[in-house]
Amino acid sequence: MQQHDSLLFAKLNLETAKIPWRELQRFFAQGKVLLVDEKQDIVSIAELMANNDADQVNTLIQEQKIKLVSDDQAKIWINNDQLVWAVVVAPWVLVQQAD
């Protein structure tokens, strides 16, 4: 990972919040919700995307550390009324399961 752009990282960190999965259904239906692997820092991933770091983002996609939320995962989260960590990097919403 790259060195954090402190202002951008701080801004994205402040915009990250827990939200009920059901509130993201519209974005999920549009195919705009990306699941960030639980071992990854969601804010760092958001920063890479905001900086258009295509090489790093493509590597993370190839390594399955970022992927579209599957229908099966979405059903589990709906049934469990799951909270997720979310941050928006337009047009994407990045999520991780919140504990």
> DSSP of 38-64, one letter per residue?
TTS-HHHHHHHHHTT-HHHHHHHHHTT
72 in a domain, yes or no? yes
1 in a domain, yes or no? no
58: its two tokens: 């493509």
Burial category of 51 from C-beta neighbours within 10 Å (exposed 0-12, middle 13-18, buried 19 and up): middle
56 in a domain, yes or no? yes
pLDDT in tens, 24-72: 999 999 999 999 999 999 999 999 999 999 999 999 999 999 999 999 9
Model pTM above 0.75: yes
Q: Which domain holds residue 57?
A: 6-97
